[in-house]
Amino acid sequence: MSELNAIPANLSNNLTIDTVVVAAGVGKRFGSQMPKQYTHIGGQTVLQHSIAALSKVHQLNTCYLVISEEDTIAKTLSFSMPIEWVIGGKERMNSVFNAVQTIWQKYQDPRCDKTFNEQAFSDKDSHHAYDNHWVLIHDAARPCVNPSDIEKLITQTTQQFLQQSQQEQKQESAGGLLAVPVRDTVKQIIHSQDKVLAQKTLDRSQLWLAQTPQIFPLATLYDYLTQAIEQTIAFTDEASLFEHFGKQPLLVEGSHSNIKLTFPEDLQFAQVYLAKS
CA-nearest of 193, 153, 156 to 57 is 153
How far from 64 is each of 84, 201, 208, 240, CA to CA, in Å? 5, 41, 28, 22
pLDDT digits (tens, 9 = 90+) for 170-204: 566 789 999 999 999 999 999 999 999 999 999 99
C-alpha span between 24 and 91 (Å, rounded): 9
Between 60-64, 110-114, 125-129, the lowest mean confidence (pLDDT) is in: 125-129
pTM of the model: 0.87
Side chain identity, residue 267? L
Please calculate the CA angle 91-93-99 and round it to the nearest 5 degrees.
Answer: 110
Q: What's the confidence (pLDDT) of residue 34?
A: 79
pLDDT digits (tens, 9 = 90+) for 19-76: 999 998 765 544 556 789 999 999 999 999 999 999 999 999 899 999 999 999 999 9
Q: What confidence category does residue 108 fall into, taking pLDDT thresholds of 50, 70 and 90? A: confident
56-75: string of b/e by CB count within 10 Å (b at 16+)?
ebebbeebbbbbbeebeebe
Tell me 131's DSSP state. Answer: T
Q: Where are the beta strands (DSSP E) in the chain?
A: 16-23, 40-41, 44-45, 60-67, 83-87, 133-139, 176-181, 186-192, 195-202, 208-217, 250-253
Is residue 210 within 8 Å of 249, Cβ to Cβ?
no
C-alpha span between 133 and 120 (Å, rounded): 12
Question: What is the number of other CB atoms lying within 10 angstroms of the CB of residue 201?
Answer: 10
Q: What confidence category does residue 112 fall into, taking pLDDT thresholds of 50, 70 and 90? A: low
Q: What confidence category does residue 260 fall into, taking pLDDT thresholds of 50, 70 and 90? A: very high
Between 28-42, 120-134, 255-269, the lowest mean confidence (pLDDT) is in: 120-134
Q: What's the confidence (pLDDT) of residue 161?
A: 79
Cis peptide before 82 (omega within 30 of 0): no
Q: What confidence category does residue 120 fall into, taking pLDDT thresholds of 50, 70 and 90? A: very low
Q: Considering the chain, what is the average pLDDT of its residues?
A: 87
Average pLDDT of the residues in 95-119 = 76
Q: What confidence category does residue 111 fall into, taking pLDDT thresholds of 50, 70 and 90? A: low
Average pLDDT of the residues in 218-222 = 95
CA-nearest of 17, 96, 113 to 61 is 17
C-alpha span between 217 and 213 (Å, rounded): 14
